[in-house]
Amino acid sequence: MPYFTTLDDCRLYYTTHNFEPSRPLVVFLNGTSQTTIYWKPHVNAFSEHFGVLRYDARSQGQSDIGTSEISAEIHISDLQGLLDHLNVQQTHLIGISHGAYIALRLAAATPRLVDRLVLCSIGRDSRAQVKLIVRSWLEILQRADLKTMAWASLPLAFGKRFLNHNRDILDKIVAAIAARNDKEALIAHFNAIANYPSPESFLKTIKCPTLVISGSDDPIVSRKDARQLAKDCRGHHELFPEVGHSIPAEAPALFQQVVFDFLNQRQPSASAV
C-alpha cells in the first residue's frame, strides 16, 4: 500500500487512479469518521476524465495519528507535502464537511495549487453548531464506544430519505463506521475541530472557481449558510432536494453530474439557488 511520510514522520495512506502528470487531477478529502472507502463509488466515473487521488488525513483510516498536535494547519501542511511528493502543480479539490474545510484553507493558503474547488456540506457561519455537535460526539465517545457514537451520528450524517430507504442496513453502516475508525484518533480529531477558526476569516482570499453543494435536509448546514459561503467565495451554490449531510453517498448520480459540469466549466444542471 502506498504511504507518504510527513516531515514529522507521520505516515499518510493514499491511493491514485489513472494518475499521470499530463492529466488534470481530482483530490477527494474525507469528512469526519470517513476514509478513502467513502469515495470508492465515484472513482470509476471520475477516473475516466481525471486522475484521482484519495488519501486518509492523519488520524483517519489507514493513516497514522502522528505525534504532533492535530490542527487545521497540520492537515494543510500534510496535503501540501503529499502533492509535492507526487509532483502535482495544480489540482481540483473535492471535499465534504471536514474535508471541505481543509480544502478551503488550502485554497486560501496556496492559491497556485487549486484550480477548482467543490465544497459539500459546509457553511459560512455554522461553526457554533458544528462545535456543539462535535462536543456531543466527543462526550459520547469518551464515555462509551465507537458504535454508540456512530448510532448517535446517523440522524445528523444522513437525511431522512436515505435513512428510510436504508433502514435494513443501518446496523452494517454503523459497524463499518466503527471498524474504520480508531477511538483515540477520533478523539484527537474532535478536539482539534473545536479549535478551528471560522471560515469567514479567509473566504475573501479564495480566487479559484468554487462550487458549494448543500442538502435541503442537512440539520448541520442550512441552505442560507451554504449560500452565503458561496457568495463570499464569489462561487455558485447548488441545493440538492431531500438530501442530508452526506451528499456524495445520498445522491451519487446527481453529485457526479453537477460536479462534472462544474469541472468542465458548464453551468451546473441542478436547481441553482
Which domains are seen in the chain, by residue range? Answer: 3-263 (3.40.50.1820)
| 3-state DSSP assignment of residue 193 | helix
Structure confidence at residue 273 (pLDDT): 43
Q: Are strands 25-29 and 11-17 parallel, antiparallel or unpaired?
A: unpaired
* Cα angle: 194, vertex 196, 199; to 5 degrees: 135
**pLDDT tens series, the chain, 273 aa:** 699 999 999 999 999 999 997 889 999 999 999 999 999 999 999 999 999 999 999 999 999 999 999 999 999 999 999 999 999 999 999 999 999 999 999 999 999 999 999 999 999 876 678 889 999 999 999 999 999 999 999 999 999 999 999 999 999 999 999 999 999 999 999 999 988 988 887 888 999 999 999 999 999 999 999 999 999 999 999 999 999 999 999 999 999 999 999 999 754 444 444
Rounded CA-CA distance 55/30 in Å is 8
This prediction has a pTM of 0.94
| 3-state DSSP assignment of residue 147 | helix
Rounded CA-CA distance 240/250 in Å is 10
Structure confidence at residue 266 (pLDDT): 53
Burial group, residue 253, by CB count within 10 angstroms (0-12, 13-18, 19+): exposed
Identify the helix (H) or strand (E) that includes residue 162: helix 160-165
Contact 91, 160 (CB under 8 A): no
